[in-house]
Structure 1
Amino acid sequence: MPDQRAPDSQTATGTREIYEAGRRSALLKAGALQTAILNSANFSIIATDEKGVIQIFNVGAEHMLGYRSDEVINQVSPSDLHDPMEVTARAVALSTELATPIAPGFEALAFKASRGIEDIYELTYIRKDGSRFPAIVSITALRDDHETLIGYLLIGTDNSARKLVEQQLNEAVAAAEKANLAKSDFLSSMSHELRTPLNAILGFAQLVESGTPAPTPTQKRSVDQILKAGWYLLELINEILDLALIESGKLSLSVEPVSLTEVLTECRAMVESQAAQRGIGMAFPRMPAQGYVNADRTRLKQVLINLLFNAIKYNQPNGRVSVECTEQTAGTLRISVRDTGAGLTPEQVSQLFQPFNRLGQESGHEEGTGIGLVVTQRLVHLMGGEIGADSTQGVGSVFWVEMALASAPGLALELTEEQPAPLAADGAEMHTVLYVEDNPANLELVEQIIARRSNLRLLGAADASLGIEFARVYRPKVILMDINLPGISGIEAMKILRSDPVTAHIPIIALSANAVPRDIQRGMEAGFFNYITKPIKVGQLMDAIDAALAVSSLPKGMDTQQDIA
């Protein structure tokens, strides 16, 4: 019999059949996806009821933890599978964070999830055989259509591979730090080894230069060349050590408010003679009202002197160098060093701060290594500043440094007690200076320096033990102490002298080739009156001795210094 249904009815029936077929297909796919997820071996899926008792334990959880699902479902809580001490620690941390008592166990694991916050944490899972492994677990609260809590879903992954990488990375970092420490120690030792012979070269050259009778013109030219080469070699040693220390992270800085007026005044005194020799005019600024910046005073001075020396060195004959200070936005002060040199191309400007790149000056008559600007840049950055340059060929260059402005430091209470004046060179009583030094050349050098003062005599000791005995017997006014001595070090000897009432009052000056800043800091913190680095600068040494003589006094009631037979 022919179908009597209306065409519209047939169409509706066909549409419903298509819809039902699609729905069945979607459900089948969803079921397949659900089965695939539950059977995945790559991650664990654990579902609990609202009380925290396990209801679903997928294949991945079985593989990961070693339990069959029937061994845990309706029997244990996920917290029973974690390290109990870590679960307790998590409860304590939550209690502290929320100022609310949290019981150890699953409540601690599910606390945030129960409040609608998905939580991810790292804990240690314990397998059925007792072995452990680190895991990352995500926990989410499950709710029905009425927003009623019906359970929790925990998805976990094995974190062993990541932890292994972290461990290897930490070991690599530790090894690198150990290597850096060894590198720093090597640099300190190498500095000492390089400076010790250089000390004799420069010291004796200075004596010849200023000795009596005066050197002949030919000798004077030779001595000038020795001194020029020696001081240049010292500069190279310092630059290389600075760069290596910065790269190893071992350079210590003391950033505090620094008077830029004082620093620029000292810099001007150091560079003006060189500028005058080359016919270079110098112009320094009137400082702005706010003249303090946050910096390490010694390193800021080093930065500015390097920029000033470069401006003089690479200037035109009879050129000019001007220093400008302008307040920038955001509380910074820009110090600019402008020269009238040949200028640089844009490509050269982009290469300015590359190590050992002298921008084509290798064949020029000016000495250099290409390290100075690199060290300068690193120092500025370590002090929290910025450095840059602008240049125009045929006009000149401007190198600038920006440092954070600072308020002037508060004034310390001034001492009211009068200090004794330095002893006069003529007609004064003889004072003994004890020098503890194992290097005969250094001892002879200082002996000749001291011999120029009629009121001083030098007593030498080749090691610390002999130096301590001499100090106790002769009670010198000042002690010069090398650091690297055979047997007892100079620092240990200084501590022994400080602990002895007979010698505790005597100023002790470190005289050492250990010129790395951390060595100097360590020496000053140990209790030295002053720290003089080798190669010795004669004027600096005598100023230090005069300062020590000015404050040196024997304890009340003790006899005056004994004479030397």
Structure 2
Amino acid sequence: MNDIYRAGAAARAARPALLQTGVLQEAIFSSPYFSCIATDAQGVIQLFNVGAERMLGYQADDVIDRITPAGISDPAEAIVRAAALSRQFDTPISPGFEALVYKASRGIEDNYELTYVRKDGSRFPAIVSVTALRDASETVIGYLLIGTDNTVRKHAEQERELLNRVLSDNSVELENARAQADKANRAKSEFLSSMSHELRTPLNAVLGFAQLMASDTPPPSASQQRSLDQILNGGWYLLRLINEILDLSMIESGRVAMSREAMALTEVLRDCRAMITPQAQKRHITLSFPSLAQPFYVHADLTRVKQVVINLLSNAIKYNRTGGSVLVECQQHGERVRLSVRDTGNGLSAEQLQQLFQPFNRLGQEAGTEEGTGIGLVVTKQLVELMGGTLGVESEVGVGTMFWIELAASSAPALQLGEHGVDIREPLAEAPFDAPRRKVLYVEDNPANLILVEQLIARRSDLGMLSAIDGHLGIALARQHQPDLILMDINLPGISGSEVLSLLRADPLTAHIPVIALSANALPRDVRKGLEAGFLRYLTKPINVPEFMEALDTALSLTTAS
């Protein structure tokens, strides 16, 4: 105790010297917002400002010449700090005042967090900055500890940590939910893809052979033709239903790929008119298309625009009155082009218009004679919106209905060339009558599909067919016979059609042979993947005979040109 008093007396004697240095300014010591505690060289408190009194609950006289700052600090933290500093500086440091000022005594800037203990025993976190006070000869004559109450910031940090934990937990939950949703979407997509494949395979045989029988020589009898018409109508309806369900599923899962390019509505309407005219003629519906002397161009997906227009035209014919009319118009609306399809059908009530785009809702037409899925308009609307367009409808009961779509206007597109530099819009030349028979190799493991294509090829006097029931045999036949064209199923036993294509392309003997995919894998991603893999064309089952024959002619004309 006598040593402490002697040290205190020495500090009092040195206090004027401390104040004369100008380090401790009166403004700092009188501030109530932070604590200023000055000690002598031994650590005994010599100055305890108003801020320190307010924060710690002591009066200056309670601590000056009596204790060191270690006496108002958490002793457990001092032990931990001393151990850490001992390891850092490889020297033993005592867990008292020495631990609080060790770095400052060696001229090292020191700011740290500690827990102060108030006079009433309560505790609070503080940020403390420690500076060694030196005289003119650089001898340490004391220490200055400036502290700020860190309670508010500490609470804010704790709340932030809690919030981060909550957000992290929520993020994990959201990620899990997203993963589950993605998994469910993938499962649904895989199921639909599998379902599509399994349905298309038998449909290919049904529709393919029905088309063959309908075009036989001699032609079928009237009763046979009626039966074939029923088979074909039912088969194409089932295929349309499969396609629309797949389209709707792909749109809802956000997996629809859209190309955005300049395209002429003139060409779209010309193609759609050719496709829809037979349907209109059966119902004695008059079709009126614009002359389009001034062509309209839009920025959209060509295939999807055709799908949309065909659907609108088909509905306008289907739900029209016998002998009615369908009027198609195009107009420029600012930076958009509007295409409208107006019919003279029964029209729709306000209540029916509100339900128009509900999936599987046929608006009371279920008992009617017209087939329908109740999905087509839903898919049409969503496809238009995915292309950045708008679909609208106006209708009056007893007068008719007008559907319209608006798409972004575009400038004229550049000339489109095929993969081999041939203008894809040029008509194909007819093969000479006396031309030698050209060889087509069909790689397919399904017997019914093999027989169907064999019979289709047999109707071509210019073609002969080889067949292989798996990919390895197909490669061997391609190397041996050098066919002019290869038709390739995708789902083959042992090795897939895509893998066969890759091996054919890697072999100099077969690399030049064009390969057309002919598959029941008909999702847009399947088609895109096939074309990216290098197939010249990707035809989906069931086979559409005119499209199939056109694809053969296109591929064979390219081999002739090369």
Q: Distance in 2 between matches of 1:420 and 1:472?
A: 32
Alignment check: 8 A CA contact 2:55 2:149 kept: no
Alignment check: 8 A CA contact 1:290 1:405 kept: no
- Report whether the alignment pairs 1:487 with 2:494: yes
Change (3 A) 1:428 1:377: same
Aligned to 2:511: 504
Match of 1:516 among 509, 518, 523: 523
Change (3 A) 1:169 1:106: farther
Deviation at 1:189, TM superposition (A): 1.7
- Look up the equivalent residue of 1:165 and give its one-letter code: N
Change (3 A) 1:151 1:254: farther
Aligned to 1:404: 408
- Look up the equivalent residue of 1:244 and give its one-letter code: S
Alignment check: 8 A CA contact 1:420 1:551 kept: no
- Report whether the alignment pairs 1:312 with 2:326: no
Aligned to 1:443: 450
Deviation at 1:425, TM superposition (A): 5.2
Deviation at 1:184, TM superposition (A): 1.6
- Report whether the alignment pairs 1:166 with 2:171: yes
Post-superposition Cα deviations, 1:23-71, rounded to whole Å, max 9, x if no partner, equal xxxxxxxxxxxxxxxxxxxxxxxxxxxxxxxx989xxxxxxxxxx9848
Aligned to 1:295: 300
Alignment check: 8 A CA contact 1:184 1:250 kept: no
Post-superposition Cα deviations, 1:153-202, rounded to whole Å, max 9, x if no partner, equal 63231121221011111111022112212222222221111000000001
Alignment check: 8 A CA contact 1:422 1:547 kept: no
Change (3 A) 1:413 1:498: closer
Deviation at 1:298, TM superposition (A): 0.5
Q: Distance in 1 between matches of 2:554 and 2:398?
A: 50
Change (3 A) 1:525 1:245: same
Match of 1:528 among 525, 531, 535: 535
Give TM-score scaled by structure 1 length.
0.70
Aligned to 1:431: 438
Q: Distance in 2 between matches of 1:417 and 1:162?
A: 58
Post-superposition Cα deviations, 1:245-269, rounded to whole Å, max 9, x if no partner, equal 1111111111221211111111111
Change (3 A) 1:339 1:413: closer
Farther-moved stretch of structure 1 (319-328 vs 196-205): 319-328
Match of 1:389 among 389, 393, 400: 393
Alignment check: 8 A CA contact 1:425 1:453 kept: no
* Greater C-alpha Rg: 2
Q: Distance in 2 between matches of 1:247 and 1:179?
A: 12
Change (3 A) 1:425 1:208: farther
- Report whether the alignment pairs 1:461 with 2:465: no
Post-superposition Cα deviations, 1:408-446, rounded to whole Å, max 9, x if no partner, equal 233468988999975725211121110000000000001
Match of 1:541 among 531, 540, 548: 548
Give the gaps of 5 or more residues in structure 1: 1-54, 58-67, 77-104, 108-149, 556-565
- Look up the equivalent residue of 1:518 and give its one-letter code: R
Change (3 A) 1:328 1:212: same
Counterparts of 1:33-182 in structure 2, within 5 Å, are 70=74, 154=153, 155-156=156-157, 157=159, 158-159=162-163, 160-182=165-187
Change (3 A) 1:536 1:421: closer
Alignment check: 8 A CA contact 1:425 1:454 kept: no
Change (3 A) 1:106 1:469: farther
Aligned to 2:8: none
- Look up the equivalent residue of 1:364 and give its one-letter code: G
Q: Distance in 1 between matches of 2:247 and 2:421?
A: 40
- Look up the equivalent residue of 1:361 and give its one-letter code: Q
Deviation at 1:213, TM superposition (A): 2.1
Alignment check: 8 A CA contact 1:420 1:550 kept: no
Match of 2:358 among 321, 334, 354: 354
Aligned to 1:5: none
Deviation at 1:492, TM superposition (A): 0.3
Deviation at 1:335, TM superposition (A): 1.2
User: What SS does structure 2 have at the residue aligned with 1:406?
Assistant: coil
Question: Considering only aligned residues, what root-mean-square deviation do their CA atoms show, in Å?
Answer: 3.2
Aligned to 2:131: none
Aligned to 1:142: none
Change (3 A) 1:533 1:416: closer
User: What SS does structure 1 have at the residue aligned with 2:409?
Assistant: strand
- Look up the equivalent residue of 2:360 and give its one-letter code: F
Counterparts of 1:22-41 in structure 2, within 5 Å, are none
Alignment check: 8 A CA contact 2:266 2:295 kept: no
Aligned to 1:268: 273
Alignment check: 8 A CA contact 2:442 2:486 kept: yes
Alignment check: 8 A CA contact 1:340 1:397 kept: yes
Q: Distance in 2 between matches of 1:273 and 1:343?
A: 23
Q: Distance in 2 between matches of 1:554 and 1:300?
A: 32
Alignment check: 8 A CA contact 1:290 1:407 kept: no
Post-superposition Cα deviations, 1:257-286, rounded to whole Å, max 9, x if no partner, equal 121111111111111221122111111124
Match of 1:345 among 337, 343, 349: 349
- Report whether the alignment pairs 1:184 with 2:189: yes
Alignment check: 8 A CA contact 1:336 1:399 kept: yes
Give TM-score scaled by structure 2 length.
0.70
Q: Distance in 2 between matches of 1:413 and 1:208?
A: 37
Change (3 A) 1:552 1:56: farther
Change (3 A) 1:369 1:432: same
Alignment check: 8 A CA contact 2:337 2:409 kept: yes
Farther-moved stretch of structure 1 (151-160 vs 363-372): 151-160
Alignment check: 8 A CA contact 1:316 1:342 kept: yes
User: What SS does structure 2 have at the residue aligned with 1:510?
Assistant: strand
Number of positions where the alignment pairs a residue of Structure 1 with one of Structure 2 = 423
Q: Distance in 2 between matches of 1:69 and 1:320?
A: 95
Alignment check: 8 A CA contact 2:287 2:326 kept: yes
Identity in percent? 57
Deviation at 1:151, TM superposition (A): 9.5
Aligned to 2:203: 198
- Look up the equivalent residue of 2:321 and give its one-letter code: Q
User: What SS does structure 2 have at the residue aligned with 1:426?
Assistant: coil
Q: Distance in 2 between matches of 1:231 and 1:385?
A: 29
Give the gaps of 5 or more residues in structure 2: 1-53, 57-71, 81-108, 112-147
Q: Distance in 1 between matches of 2:78 and 2:196?
A: 72
Alignment check: 8 A CA contact 1:423 1:549 kept: no
Change (3 A) 1:314 1:420: closer
User: What SS does structure 2 have at the residue aligned with 1:391?
Assistant: strand
